[in-house]
Amino acid sequence: MKFSIVTTTYNDYELLRQLVESVLNNVDPDSYKEIIVMDDYSKKDGRLRAYEEYLNANNPKVRVILHDEYRYSHLYQYKLFMDKVTNKEFDYQKLDSLEPNMGHPYALNEVMKYVETDYVFEADCDCVFLSKAGSMLFEMEKLFDENEKVLGIGQVAGEKIHEKKIFDKNFIWKSRGRNAGSGGYVSQCASALRTSAWKEHEIYVVPPRHFKHIDEKVTASALNFFHEYLYIKGFQTMNYPVFSEGNMIHLGGGFVKRSPGGRYVFGFCRDFPAPYGPRRDVHKLESWHMGRYYIDMKYNDYIKELKEKYENPFAEIQPSLDETKLKSLD
């Protein structure tokens, strides 16, 4: 087994359980060594922590790393990035206004320290593995083994293609900001990566906004910087239709507070509340890197269903997302 599956979480019990149980339900257990969860300073007395303790004690396929140090513990990583990439000093006093967690870029770099396999599949906490994903990691392992210069495999943003295709150049972005769905990078929410990128080639996931040095591009997607740096260092990526062929679905920001009144909403539901820039309606979805699938439910109904579903005991693995509720725009 050459793959580990990693994710990071911050106070997202329902999302983490949905992701973990979708792996246990749908992914061939012989295709991965373990699921590694980096809990990034979540509340210590919540249901999430109770679930994580249960996983560590009862499921040998799941390992939860608790990052309970205050945020200043990751200042060294800021310094590392600044020294290696920008040679600029960061104003650490700005951290006083931030949440106590590290944030996704730092948590992802942190969890990579625990990976012992050749390849890693990074999935955001608001992703779900579907029934078609059973042998996906086996196929990705074979593609990595056959293409030594490929360091990243996943849905290439902006590509309306389904074949496995290698890219070895830096792409021109067609849009900026959160609508990062076009521009030529492997989708940042779920992708397979070669572990040697971190441990041998020193290609890191860099925090957004602080690193405008790479051709002066600005994005909110930290992993896009990883792939851009990957191209600059002469490596390749490969398109694999993770989302467009229905191996996975990304819920579109998870519980994103972007609607009036700060309500919790999902992006890829029928009423599509537009957590990604100019996209306002599910039928105006132009970005292909998330695929063309959405859940044919109103997001409030889906949230209610999700919360009720995961009130059940931890020992009872719940059925994965009902795929009859998935609709495609194609």
> What pLDDT, on a 0 to 100 scale, did the predictor assign at position 216?
40
Q: Which helix (H) or strand (E) holds 297?
A: none
**Residues of the chain predicted below pLDDT 50:** 70-73, 76, 97, 172-183, 209-220, 254-263, 274-283, 285-289
- CATH 3.90.550.10 domain range(s) in the chain: 3-239
> What pLDDT, on a 0 to 100 scale, did the predictor assign at position 132?
95
pLDDT tens sequence across 29-59: 999 999 999 988 777 888 999 999 999 999 9
Per-residue burial over 7-43, b if 16 or more Cβ lie within 10 Å, else e, is bbbbbbbbbbbbbbbbbbbbbeeebbbbbbbbbbbbe
> What pLDDT, on a 0 to 100 scale, did the predictor assign at position 10?
82
> What pLDDT, on a 0 to 100 scale, did the predictor assign at position 107?
80
Distance of CA 101 to the CA centre of its chain: 17
CA distance 254 to 316: 23
Tokens of 241: 């239709």
> What pLDDT, on a 0 to 100 scale, did the predictor assign at position 213?
44
Structure pTM?
A: 0.82
The domain covering 3-239 belongs, at the CATH homologous superfamily level, to Spore Coat Polysaccharide Biosynthesis Protein SpsA; Chain A (3.90.550.10)
According to DSSP, the residues that pair with 294 across neighbouring strands are 327
Classify residue 284 as exposed, middle or buried by CB count within 10 Å of its CB (0-12, 13-18, 19+).
exposed
pLDDT tens sequence across 113-152: 899 999 999 999 889 999 999 999 999 999 999 999 999 9
- Write the DSSP assignment of 183-210 as a string of letters: SS-B-TTEEEEETHHHHTS----PPSSS
Contact in structure between 152 and 193 (CB atoms under 8 Å): yes
> What pLDDT, on a 0 to 100 scale, did the predictor assign at position 143?
97
> What pLDDT, on a 0 to 100 scale, did the predictor assign at position 254?
43
